[in-house]
């Protein structure tokens, strides 16, 4: 009898549950799943986990996958089987030529990567391409800036191919007694504007400036580092906003037509003496007593006998573009942008540049961006070119006379590469031979202020300037930690403290012993969408929303907007980066200076707006199970009540029988 009652109880419970839920809509934990690939370094792993948590709040399940595998590291342009890709996008020497990321056709560039799988069926993509191609032929920089601003608004509102995340900052420190330093222009351009106001802690002289490096390669003026910027002058000055300036060797230019430009060099600039410092092992020997190096043409420089002319500018550009020399160690698929380059027939200070604009060679169409190819150190034609009649050709087909195979292995070239001279603010004076494995501190190099420098400041064009210290000393310290300790002792006057900014803030609290300035690095992290995948792209790129106020957007774009609004980048920045990075808002990195649109369409964290766009795309919040639904809750209460009632009756009946 008791068994029958228990069975009856179970039947009642099951029936009650079925009846309660019979008319209830089915609910889900999420609407769909997206695969998020990430690069396996830095804070990207933690950022991916946080993004996954945020997207769960709008019903999107995220499966996180690493790109590291047996086939090596993969990038978003290497394969198609991904929905979202979290990675750091870096910019090197191509500057504003972003066509390879946001155009749809490989015909426009030889290194086409189509970052987000665009095609011309995606709404507004044709307009985006038209604006990008127009920007490549605009030589009025103000007009070009405005066009890029409009393009960013279009892309970030109507196409939305990426979620911009963060741009890292570098932090540079000088002591409070240092005046005139501006990190946005860089240490070397600031030297003529700087001064010391008394001695700082540990400082011994007001006529020397001390920095530290980890190895001798920081001295290589053609790979980068201190030697590059102290000994040489760039052919053209580029401002921190990436606008070309007329404050350097090039003082003016003229646009003859869309492909032909004439540039004019500043007059009365001379090459520094070609001192041979290979035997100098004593920092007390007067620099004027050092021997003079002689170049391939049997000539040398004494500081007043070799004038900088257009011949040097043309030689520099052709050498950069000649495969026999590869002078700057640059592997650049755009080197053949140069169609012709020659010295003016009338004025030795003028030279002409013709850029390629032929439809049959679209890979050369760098157009307006060729200006940034001039941000290279000028090299002396009289010293490095030979008297041979041998003919060679640049990547763009320009004839060169004097450059031959093996010229870069000659003693003259080797001496110049290691202990060279230029027309810059300083001259090489002393360089210690580097010995691997030798620990401890020592002076690696000393440079002397040049009395032959032409004295024009890169920042504002002021004339009659000179670097504020006589000696620029470069010390060798094996690790960044050792360099920082040396800075704290007062033995360095400047240091990049990016790796130690948290330590400094924790130790200093309210009072910091340094003046710290920050600048933006030339890359940013972003979350890219694959616009050919379901839910965030694919066929949904063609389904227009009918909701009032959103009819200019597609279902796929609405989901992408919802994702942007759902990601709390402020929280990610605090958790992963201690709040130190700049939050980016555009598909163009903030390091692009004036071209970056600070007023672009933004997606601040807003869960309500995220849901508005999800629902506009057809994904209703009421259909999503978040924890337990109301129907489940009510059903549990009713079922529990019935069960308790029946069990109570059974207990009472059993109690009566026991009496």
79-99 pLDDT tens trace:
788 999 998 877 644 444 566
pLDDT at 394: 87
Q: Which helix (H) or strand (E) holds 447?
A: strand 442-449
CATH number for the domain whose boundaries are 233-423: 3.90.76.10
Pair 99, 132: CB distance under 8 Å? yes
pLDDT at 645: 60
For residues 351 and 263, what is the distance between their CA atoms, to the nearest angstrom? 5
Neighbours of 454 (CB within 10 A): 19
For residues 634 and 611, what is the distance between their CA atoms, to the nearest angstrom? 26
pLDDT at 111: 43
CA R_g for the chain: 33
For residues 458 and 246, what is the distance between their CA atoms, to the nearest angstrom? 8
Q: Convert the pLDDT of each residue in 429-460 to its tens digit.
A: 988 765 544 555 567 889 999 999 999 999 99
**Closest among 546, 524, 497 to 590, alpha carbons compared:** 524
With b meaning 16 or more CB within 10 Å and e meaning fewer, what string describes 493-521?
A: bbbbbbebbeebeeeeeeeebbebeebbb
Pair 247, 234: CB distance under 8 Å? no
What is the CA 376 to chain-centroid distance, rounded? 19
**Closest among 162, 160, 134 to 148, alpha carbons compared:** 134
Neighbours of 118 (CB within 10 A): 21
pLDDT at 427: 95
Degrees to nearest 5, angle at CA 359 with 391 and 254: 70
pLDDT at 79: 78
SS3 of 170, please?
Answer: strand
**Closest among 518, 434, 416, 425 to 475, alpha carbons compared:** 434
Angle (deg, nearest 10), helices 630-658 and 2-21: 160
pLDDT at 284: 81
pLDDT at 585: 96
| Residues in the chain, pLDDT under 50 | 3, 6, 10, 12, 14-15, 18-25, 70-71, 92-96, 106-112, 217-224, 329-334, 359, 363-364, 436-437, 627-630, 633, 658-659
Structure-derived torsion over alpha carbons of residues 577, 582, 583, 588, reported in degrees to the nearest 10: -130
Architecture of the structural domain at 32-167+522-623: 3-Layer(aba) Sandwich (3.40)
**Closest among 276, 272, 277 to 303, alpha carbons compared:** 272
pLDDT at 638: 56
3-state secondary structure 465-528: CCCCCCEEEEEECCCHHHHHHHHHCCCCCEEECHHHHHHHHHHHCCCCCCEEEEEECCEEEEEE
**Look-up: residue for tokens 């970052």?**
115
pLDDT at 101: 74
**Look-up: residue for tokens 């044709």?**
126
């Amino acid at each position: 009898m008791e068994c029958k009652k228990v069975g009856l109880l179970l039947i009642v419970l099951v029936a009650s549950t079925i009846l309660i839920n019979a008319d209830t809509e089915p609910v889900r934990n999420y609407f769909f799943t997206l695969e998020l690939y990430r690069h396996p370094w830095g804070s990207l792993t933690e950022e991916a986990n946080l993004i996954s948590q945020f997207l769960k709040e709008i019903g999107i399940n995220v499966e996180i996958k690493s790109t590291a595998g047996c086939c090596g590291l993969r990038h978003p342009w290497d394969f198609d089987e991904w929905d979202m890709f979290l990675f750091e996008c870096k910019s090197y020497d191509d500057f504003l030529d972003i066509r390879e990321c946001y155009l749809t056709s490989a015909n426009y560039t030889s290194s086409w990567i189509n970052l987000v799988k665009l095609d011309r069926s995606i709404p507004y993509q044709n307009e985006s391409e038209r604006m990008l191609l127009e920007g490549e032929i605009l030589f009025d920089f103000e007009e070009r800036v405005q066009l890029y601003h409009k393009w960013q608004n279009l892309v970030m509102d109507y196409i939305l191919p990426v979620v911009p995340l963060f741009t890292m900052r570098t932090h540079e420190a000088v002591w409070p007694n240092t005046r005139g330093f501006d990190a946005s222009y860089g240490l070397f351009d600031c030297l003529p504007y700087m001064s010391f106001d008394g001695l700082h802690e540990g400082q011994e002289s007001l006529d020397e400036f001390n920095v530290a490096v980890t190895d001798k390669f920081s001295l290589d003026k053609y790979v980068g580092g201190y030697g590059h910027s102290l000994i040489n002058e760039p052919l053209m000055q580029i401002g921190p906003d990436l606008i070309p300036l007329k404050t350097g060797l090039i003082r003016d230019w003229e646009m003859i037509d869309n492909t032909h430009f004439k540039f004019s060099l500043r007059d009365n600039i001379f090459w520094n003496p070609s001192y041979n410092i290979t035997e100098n092992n004593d920092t007390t020997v007067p620099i004027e007593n050092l021997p003079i190096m002689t170049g391939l043409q049997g000539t040398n420089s004494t500081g007043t006998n070799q004038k900088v002319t257009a011949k040097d500018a043309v030689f520099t550009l052709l050498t950069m573009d000649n495969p026999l020399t590869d002078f700057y160690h640059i592997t650049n698929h755009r080197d053949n942008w140069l169609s012709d380059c020659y010295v003016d027939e009338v004025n030795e200070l003028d030279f002409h540049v013709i850029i390629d604009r032929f439809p049959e060679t679209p890979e050369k169409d760098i157009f307006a961006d060729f200006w940034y190819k001039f941000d290279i150190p000028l090299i002396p034609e009289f010293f490095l070119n030979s008297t041979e009649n041998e003919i060679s050709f640049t990547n763009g087909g320009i004839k060169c006379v004097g450059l031959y195979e093996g010229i870069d292995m000659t003693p003259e070239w080797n001496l110049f590469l290691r202990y060279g001279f230029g027309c810059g603010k300083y001259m090489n004076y002393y360089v210690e031979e580097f010995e691997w494995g030798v620990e401890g501190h020592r002076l690696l190099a000393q440079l002397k202020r040049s009395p032959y420098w032409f004295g024009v400041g890169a920042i504002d064009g002021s004339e009659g300037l000179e670097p504020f210290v006589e000696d620029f000393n470069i010390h060798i310290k094996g690790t960044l930690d050792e360099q920082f300790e040396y800075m704290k002792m007062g033995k360095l006057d400047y240091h990049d403290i990016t790796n130690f900014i948290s330590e400094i803030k924790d130790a200093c609290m309210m009072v910091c012993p340094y003046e710290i300035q920050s600048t933006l690095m030339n890359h940013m992290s972003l979350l890219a969408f694959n616009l050919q995948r379901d839910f965030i792209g694919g066929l949904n790129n063609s389904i227009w929303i009918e909701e009032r106020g959103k009819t200019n957007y597609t279902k796929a774009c609405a989901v992408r907007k919802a994702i942007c609004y759902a990601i709390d980048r402020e929280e990610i920045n605090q958790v992963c980066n201690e709040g130190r990075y700049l939050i980016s808002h555009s598909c163009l990195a903030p390091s692009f200076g004036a071209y970056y649109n600070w007023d672009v369409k933004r997606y601040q964290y807003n869960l309500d707006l995220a849901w508005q766009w999800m629902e506009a795309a057809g994904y209703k919040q009421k259909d999503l199970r978040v924890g337990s639904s109301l129907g489940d809750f009510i059903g549990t209460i009713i079922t529990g009540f019935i069960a308790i009632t029946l069990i109570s009756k059974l207990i009472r009946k059993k109690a009566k029988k026991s009496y």
